[in-house]
Each structure stands twice: as C-alpha cells, then as structure tokens.
Structure 1
Amino acid sequence: MREPTFTDQVSAWSELTGTVFSFLVLLIALATWRTARQALRASRDANIQTKRDSIEQTRPYVYAEVVPSLAGSPNWDVRVVNVGKSAALDLRLDYSDWPERPDDIAQSVRTFFTTARTLAPGSSIRAMWRLESGPDSQFDDGTVAAGLGKNGRITVAYRSSDLEAPHYSDDFHVMVEDSGLWPIPEAGPSGHRLSGDKLAFYRLGQSIARAIGEQRR
C-alpha cells in the first residue's frame, strides 16, 4: 500500500471540510426552520387572540334579572338588557319553573320569552313578572300572588352577526328572596298636612319620583 501523497491529503481534508460545512449548514437551516416555525406559531396565536379579543369587545351581551316593579312594592318585573356593543339577534328566553296553569301574567311572560326579537346595544325590555297582594290582603280569586316565582333560572339565547362566534347562551338565577333587602326609591314625606288639589299634585310628584328612581335600576 502506497503512502498518501500531498495531493491525496489535500483532497481528503477538502472532503472532510466539505462534509463538516454541509453538516453545519444543515444545523443552521434546521435552527432557522425551528425559529421560523415558532415565530409563525406565535404570530398565529397572537392573531387568534386578537380575533377573540375583537369578538369579545364587539359582541352582544344580554342578561336578565328580576327587580322590584315600576308598579311599586311588593311587585316584581323582569328586565332584559343588552350591555354589549352589537345587536342581539333572534333573542329568546326560557324559565325553569313555568307553572302548570299559567295565569295572565305568566302567559304574557311566556309569550315575551318565546317570541324571537332583536335587542339593540344599550337597550332593554321590561315586563311584569309577579304581583303580590300585600300583607293581610288577597286578590279577588282568593290568591295572594300572580305571575311567576321568586326562584328559578332564566336562560337567555341569542346570536351575533359575527360569523366567528354566532351563538350565545347564558343562565341567570332568579333570587328575589336571596338578595338581601331591596332598596326602594324614597317618595318623600307623606304630605298629610296637604289637602285637595295640593295633595293630589304632591302625590303625583311622589309617583313620578318613584318611577324615575326605579328606571335607574
């Protein structure tokens, strides 16, 4: 076997250098590809989060609550409000504890709940929920309450015009007796020293003051 010549040595070193260089280029390419993939994934995740944030910021958001009635104590109204930034489309509601034999008030609420409607942003709908006869009294039919219950669950379902998140559904509990003492707008002094037209005008002012106070709930 002959001794390698200088040319053979140079050729061998060149091949080794080429192999090492190719290997380094491969490593650099692999690292670049991994970096690019991570950057692409981060960019995609950022775009998804941005889209989600945009949806959350512009979506409709409807809630329902049972509050003291504009008709005065001890009656109750149901209030449905859209506090979102866009219209709630095909809005429908349901109640968990419908009575077997609904009276006029319960039937009117059921019609209200099952009729699809559009609720614009910042707007609300209010309807009578429950009437109570008050202490030591009753209605003509002998009952002391009409309408729906003091407990239960109201389900709100609607859709958005945004195709990325078209449908929403939320549950809200009716907790008339589990929400502490409900504040009622002050009507002012009784006006017992007044009479005639002055007393009638004073009571009209009391009614207006109470109504304004209730509307701010």
Structure 2
Amino acid sequence: MDNEELARRTVEIAESAAAASWVAAIAAAITAVLTIGLLIGAIFAWRVARDTLDQSRLTSKQMEQDSVEQTRPYVYAVLVPSLGGHGAWDLLIRNSGRSSATDLTFAVSEWPEDDAVTRTLRSMLEQPQILPPDTTIRTFWYLGERHDPGSSGATGFDIPVDITVSYLGPGPNPKRYVERFHLNQKALGATPEASSGVEMVRPSPTLKKLSELVQAVNDLRRGH
C-alpha cells in the first residue's frame, strides 16, 4: 500500500470517527431533551395531581362544613309582646336548628334593680340548659314601669342590655357557638300585639269558651 492510499484511508477513518462522534453527540442531545421533557412532564403531572388533591380536600372540607352548618343548633334571643298584658314584654329563647343545643348558658351585660322578675330570670339564665331543636323557652322580661300607680314593683328589665348566648353543637367533639343579642324593648316601637277581637253581644257559653281558646292559641303562636 503506497503512501497516497494510506493517507486516503486515514482520512476515511477519521471522517467515519467524526461522523460517529456527531451521531453519538446528537443521540446524547436527543436523550437529554427527552429526559428534560420527561422531567417537565413529571413535574407538570405532579402539580396537577397536587392541585387535584388540594381541590378534593377543599371540597371535602366544604361539604363537611356545609353538613355541620345544616345540622347545627341555632339559638337566638328576642323580645316579643308579653302574654302578661299591654306594655309588658317576654323573653323568647328559641333553637331553630336541627340538633340540640347543650350546655346552654347566658351572660347578661347588666342587671337592673332586684325584683321578683329579675330574680327568676337570674335563676333561669345562670343554670346550664339543654334546648332541643324547634323548641322555645319563654319567660317574663318586662312588666311595666317600676313606680307606676298600682305596680307591684316587679318590673324586670327596664334597661337595654346585651345577652350573650353560648352553647355546644352535636358530635363527639362539639363546637361551641357564642352569639350576642341586644335587647331593648323601647327600641321596638309600636309592635303589634294580640287583642281580644270582636266581642259578641250575646255569646253562648260554648262560643265564648271557643273564643278564649282561639285567643290563647294565637297568643302562644306569636312566640314561635
């Protein structure tokens, strides 16, 4: 083999080696790109899975919260015209929720002068109670001015106060709910109240008794 042939083959071998190097480099580059793509895809898939899991947890928590809100007790305090007569007011404590309110307690911001009504209210409000759903407690709150002529002095709450209601909901780990209500009968204005209705000129004893029963039922229904 002469020198020219040797040189030619050397060049061919070098070109083949260079081509092989290029192929290897391109293959390595493609592999790197594919690896990066797979990594990016894996990261994207992980983020999607994470977001889906977070959304699922959020939805589950919201559904649980909605379930609690739908089944929890709702206790409120309000003043209504009293069954005791004109100018008097009753305290109405009602659970309008779907479960019992347990360990139900009340805190009054200020107490008026001591009398028969306030003593009874204090005794009732300071004792923890259980109030089933769709149940009402009704009691005298205000019976008129303390120094009116003929007054027994049993007035009750003749001052505006805040009453804080605290109670537990259902379940093995019950949540405590605390709400505050402002009670001021003077701010309620001309609130409608029951009246005796039309009096019959000559009612029979039966009609008179029925009229009294209807009036009593209507008075009671006003408290619900």
Same fold (TM over 0.5): yes
Would you tell me which structure has more helix in proportion to its own residues?
2
Question: Structure 2 residue aligned with 1:120, among 132, 157, 174?
Answer: 132
TM-score, normalised via structure 1 length: 0.85
Offset, 1:200:
11
Do the aligned partners of 2:73 and 2:101 also contact (CA within 8 Å) in 1? yes
Residue aligned with 2:64, SS? helix
Instruction: Tell whether the 8 Å contact from 1:187 to 1:209 is kept in structure 2 after alignment.
Output: no
Q: Distance in 2 between matches of 1:135 and 1:107?
A: 18
Query: Post-superposition shift, 1:138?
Result: 3.0
TM-score by length of 2: 0.82
Deviations 1:144-200 (A, max 9, x none): x61112522111110112356510011111131222311112312345x559xx689
What is the CA distance between 1:214 and its match in structure 2? 2.0
8 Å Cα contact 2:74/2:95 also seen in 1 = yes
2:6 is matched with none
Cα distance in 2 between the residues matched to 1:96 and 1:45:
39
Give the paired residue count.
Answer: 208
Secondary structure of the residue that 1:25 maps to in structure 2? helix
Partner of 2:149: 137
In structure 2, distance between residues paired with 1:176 and 1:168:
25
- The secondary structure found in structure 1 opposite 2:155 is strand
SS in 2 for 1:74: coil
Q: Is the 8 A contact 1:151 1:176 kept in 2?
A: yes
Matched position secondary structure for 1:188: coil
The 10-residue stretch of structure 1 (204-213 or 102-111) with the greater mean CA deviation from structure 2: 204-213
Q: Are residues 159 and 136 of structure 1, via their aligned partners in 2, closer, same or farther at CA, if it must alter by over 3 Å?
A: closer
The correspondence for 1:38, drawn from 22, 44, 51, is: 51
Aligned 1:1-217 pairs, distance under 5 A? 4-99=17-112, 101-132=113-144, 137-140=149-152, 143=153, 146-163=155-172, 166-191=175-200, 193-194=201-202, 202=208, 207-217=212-222
Distance 1:13 1:32 in 2: 28
SS in 1 for 2:143: strand
Residue identity matched to 1:81: R
CA drift of 1:90 comes to 0.6
Asked whether the 8 Å contact 2:146–2:155 carries over to 1, the reply is: no
Task: State how far apart, in whole Å, the 1-side matches of 2:84 and 2:177 are.
Answer: 32
CA-based RMSD of the aligned residues comes to 2.6
Q: Matched residue of 2:134: which SS?
A: coil
Q: Distance in 2 between matches of 1:49 and 1:68?
A: 40
Local SS of the residue matching 2:83: coil
Q: Is the 8 A contact 1:94 1:154 kept in 2?
A: yes
Q: CA shift at 1:208, angstroms?
A: 3.4
Contact 2:90 2:139 in 1 (8 A): yes
Structure 1 unaligned residues grouped into runs of 5+: none
- Aligned residues: percent identity? 31
Range 204-213 or range 32-41, more displaced: 204-213
1:207 Cα deviation (Å)?
A: 4.4
Cα shift at 1:136:
6.7
